[in-house]
Structure 1
Amino acid sequence: MKVAEIMTTDVFLTAPTRTIREAAETMQRMDVGSLPVGDGDRLVGMVTDRDIAIRAVARGMGAETPVREVMTQDIRYCYEDEDVDSVARNMADLEVRRLPVVNRDKRLVGFVSLADFAHCGDEESSEELLKGVAKPH
């Protein structure tokens, strides 16, 4: 099974110049915990609800802080034509619950998450990923 078969394709990018308030409002509206950050058609980062809480609010930054100041720039991703087994192992090793999915031109085409794996029918991949991301810290 390929990642393209289980990924979510309804993805909204936010710009690095948007405020963390706007990013949080978008997360609330879309009921998601993270947003890819795009500059034009390039994926330049990710911002999560945790980034906003820990990197901004906990440090006293205001709601008008640009996303670029709190986003994660070191982006991990997978390709849409990769096998789910391989991606699950990679996500478990990285201890991440979601990954952006790009095509071979490195354009964002979707997201794959722990929930996608849990519902894909590949119990082995799902279990491996869960064990990787659920490690105690």
Structure 2
Amino acid sequence: MKVSEVMTAQVATAKPTTSVKEVARMMSEIDTGVIPISEDGKVLGVVTDRDIVVRVVASGGSFDAAASEVMSEDVQSCREDDNLADATAKMGAQQVRRLVVLNEAGRLTGILSLGDVAMDYGAKAVGRTLEEISAEPASPT
């Protein structure tokens, strides 16, 4: 099964200059925990609900700050034509719950989340991936 068969293709994006308040409003309106930040079709980062809590709420930051100030820049991605099993393995190895999905040109085409995988790939794969995501990272030797 290919990633494109199960990913969420309707993805709202924001610009780096979009305020954190506006990003949070977008999350609320479309019931998501992640908004990719893009410019000229290229994904620069993502703002997650956790980013807002940790980098704005807990630290007393401003909701008027630009999304680029609070976004996570280390975006994990996969290709839309990747095998779903490989993508879920990557989620586990990188300990992330979502992957940004790109086409061959490197443009955003969707997001693959554990929820997408659960709906179409099965609880067993999600359970295994969630165990890997939640595991303590191996210490360097």
TM-score under structure 1 normalisation?
0.93
Give 4+ residue runs of structure 1 displaced > 4 Å after superposition.
none
1-structure distance, mates of 2:105, 2:124: 30
2-structure distance, mates of 1:27, 1:6: 21
1-structure distance, mates of 2:29, 2:23: 10
- Cα deviation for residue 15 of structure 1 reads 0.7
What does residue 24 of structure 2 align with? 24
For residues 53-132 of structure 1, the aligned pairs below 5 Å read 53-122=53-122, 124-132=124-132
How large is the RMSD of aligned CA atoms in angstroms? Answer: 1.5
Instruction: Evaluate the alpha carbon distance shift between residue 83 and residue 58 of structure 1 in structure 2; reply closer, same or farther with a 3 A threshold.
Output: same
2-structure distance, mates of 1:101, 1:81: 9
2-structure distance, mates of 1:73, 1:121: 28
Instruction: Evaluate the alpha carbon distance shift between residue 83 and residue 55 of structure 1 in structure 2; reply closer, same or farther with a 3 A threshold.
Output: same
1-structure distance, mates of 2:127, 2:59: 36
1-structure distance, mates of 2:134, 2:59: 27
1-structure distance, mates of 2:121, 2:89: 16
TM-score under structure 2 normalisation?
0.91
2-structure distance, mates of 1:90, 1:132: 10
What does residue 34 of structure 1 align with? 34
**3-state SS of 1:59 partner:** coil
Unaligned runs of 5+ in 1: none
1-structure distance, mates of 2:59, 2:32: 23
**3-state SS of 1:4 partner:** helix
State whether residues 84 and 125 of structure 1, in contact with CA within 8 Å, keep that contact through their aligned partners in structure 2.
no
- Cα deviation for residue 63 of structure 1 reads 1.3
2-structure distance, mates of 1:6, 1:84: 8
2-structure distance, mates of 1:84, 1:126: 11
Unaligned runs of 5+ in 2: none
- Cα deviation for residue 123 of structure 1 reads 5.0
State whether residues 89 and 125 of structure 1, in contact with CA within 8 Å, keep that contact through their aligned partners in structure 2.
no
2-structure distance, mates of 1:5, 1:127: 20
